[in-house]
Structure 1
């Protein structure tokens, strides 16, 4: 067990060197852990930032829902000047207020409140998916970095093999063709390193874009694909945890709850509102008695009530629309719960399979891999085997090592998928 871990460490140790060589960073740049990467993305990512700014829209809707209708000022004047009675005139000044019946104000506020709740869960769900994207990009960059370290090691071994071949050629032990074969392998490994270096830069660029880092800032990554602290959990418990924690489920539940509030509001809208008003009137008139003209002024105060008669429109269309929306939201909520359970099952199965593959490499494949390579190289130096055997053993070593890195990457990606499916931190916040 200790030997296996030591050999695994020897395989993964050059990662730090390759990251130092491949990343254009300044001397003061600190290493970036996975947790820091996720926190940076949640703080800086423009999609998340813009989505959070939309909270002001829902705050405004909530404020609008709680407002009362504005009162109405009414001014009316009349004169008899056009009818030959210039002394006769009236002036009326009134104010009226629409009164919301059926508790419409509170019901509108409730709709706005549940709309805000759904929005907040949507923000949390977007953060969940962004975290998964950052984890995937982070592990992709780590994989590319460790592949780059493996490529550098391939170049070093081919250079060592070339030196041995040149020494043996000078001693007359091998034909010149063997040295040419080693030179071809060295050129091939250098070409592979260039391709891997390009892949590393692309994966790092994708990660830094998700983090919304300033142009030219490229911190080192101090994580490891081999870091693993996952504790076995029960699938049924994970499903229950997901159903209780997934923000997308909370969002569709909030939408269904909003549907209930919208139905109640639509039914209340069928009740017409009452408009009440008060008015002060002044009426001036004149009359002539016995050749004497007299003027009279009267003041009156009046009350006015008005209400639409719900004869043709009882908001049946609004109620029907609200009920249809509620039914649609309820169906989506049920379907979302089933989808979440399937996602957890799929992520759990992927993680279990990835763990089996990694265990297979550690238990039976890596154990003899490097030892076989060392023995073959020494046998060639002593002239016991040909150059083709060494080249073949080196190819096998790097192919299997690359497959092992791929298996570690697949396990971490499966863990990230499971964390996202459950909406919980499954590895204790490591990295």
Structure 2
């Protein structure tokens, strides 16, 4: 489990040196990851676009299954015969769709709806992956600012102590110069940490779809930056749970339904028409019936069927290719996570604790006059730089964990 044990140590050192830590610029109430994710799901335009495409697919599914409208009209013939108005009347017609074409149209469109729904899930998880990476980046940037502020406080107190010793002729001029340099150097690091924090917030606000959102602090649990599944379980999870793969499976089903639809296209539809006319010359009422259909002699949709078969093959091969690609991506991401996690564990389990103990012992030796200021300075620098390196390593763990989870949506790495 990843823990931030070093922050408390830095704060206690700063307070022991007689310095209060700098006040947070950000508001007191921090944002949780759940709150940030809710904002992203509600606000991000890519999610809204994908949701609109689902609604459009539903409308198309309704439309393609509707039968053609009947036709009605006015008909007249033999006008002027024997100086009469001829035969005047009305007609009504209807085209009857055969071969279950409308039902097959609905089957194709239904698969398109399911595909669009999975694409919506893909977009949601892509946005959430970006949000989670940016969220922990903001959190780690906050911790880096806190660490740098504590280091400034410690360095400022050490600088003051060295100058007092120099005035008492118990320290060298070189110690005073080194203390000044160290304080200025740490001040630059603090400014860089604050700039990093601002940049991290901007990235998070953009990931949420709220680029103008005012900066706020966040509250995270680094212990959640874990991936506990082994290779086989991870691969099976990706293949079973990926919305991208599910969308491609529905695309295969759509292509299969489209092939079935193309095969019934040659079945001719029947058009029927009934007319009723009044013969003004004889005052007779005349009725007529007309029924017709095209003869599939030359055009039997041969090209359409070939196209549908090729599109089905292409959809099946694309599914297989993406499965292989996701497996390759998983291998790379798991390697990156294991390397970053091993490095983070090494810092947490050994380096940080030994660095803290070494600094405390050196501080005691310095207070007792047994260690020089430069020795103390070197040990302090090692301690704080080790903690900054640990923060950077946690950033790598964060990215590797989130991109591993992102493989559930087929997120590609750079």
TM-score (ref. length: structure 1): 0.86
Superposed CA RMSD in Å reads 2.6
Map 1:100-139 to 2 at 5 A: 100-139=97-136
Q: Could you tell me which of 243, 248, 261 is aligned with 2:239?
A: 243
The alpha carbon displacement at 1:43 in A equals: 1.7
What's 2:8 paired with? 10
Q: Could you tell me which of 22, 26, 42 is aligned with 2:25?
A: 22
CA 1:357–1:38 in structure 2 vs 1: closer, same or farther (change >3 Å)?
A: same
Map 1:1-400 to 2 at 5 A: 7-8=5-6, 10-11=8-9, 21-23=24-26, 25=27, 30-81=29-80, 85-87=82-84, 89-213=86-210, 215-225=212-222, 227-228=223-224, 230=226, 232-285=228-281, 296-400=282-386
CA 1:155–1:80 in structure 2 vs 1: closer, same or farther (change >3 Å)?
A: closer
Distance of 2:6 and 2:157 partners within structure 1: 22
The alpha carbon displacement at 1:107 in A equals: 0.4
Q: Please say if 1:418 is aligned against 2:404.
A: yes
> Is 99-108 or 238-247 further displaced after alignment?
238-247
Verify the 8 A CA contact 2:274 2:289 in the aligned structure 1: yes
The alpha carbon displacement at 1:88 in A equals: 5.7
The structure with the largest alpha-carbon Rg is 1
Give CA-to-partner distance per residue, 1:330-367, whole Å, 9 cap, x none. Answer: 11111111222223333323222222112211232112
SS at match of 1:22: coil
Distance of 2:22 and 2:101 partners within structure 1: 63
The alpha carbon displacement at 1:72 in A equals: 1.7
CA 1:265–1:130 in structure 2 vs 1: closer, same or farther (change >3 Å)?
A: same
Distance of 1:19 and 1:414 partners within structure 2: 32
Distance of 2:152 and 2:22 partners within structure 1: 16
Distance of 1:12 and 1:60 partners within structure 2: 61
CA 1:60–1:166 in structure 2 vs 1: closer, same or farther (change >3 Å)?
A: same
Verify the 8 A CA contact 2:91 2:274 in the aligned structure 1: yes
The alpha carbon displacement at 1:281 in A equals: 2.0
Aligned length: 403
Verify the 8 A CA contact 1:31 1:222 in the aligned structure 2: yes
CA 1:44–1:68 in structure 2 vs 1: closer, same or farther (change >3 Å)?
A: same
Distance of 2:206 and 2:360 partners within structure 1: 42
Which residues of structure 2 form unaligned runs of 5+?
Answer: 13-19, 410-414
CA 1:97–1:11 in structure 2 vs 1: closer, same or farther (change >3 Å)?
A: farther
CA 1:34–1:391 in structure 2 vs 1: closer, same or farther (change >3 Å)?
A: same
TM-score (ref. length: structure 2): 0.90
CA 1:51–1:6 in structure 2 vs 1: closer, same or farther (change >3 Å)?
A: closer
Structure 1 or 2: larger strand share? 1
> Is 403-412 or 208-217 further displaced after alignment?
208-217
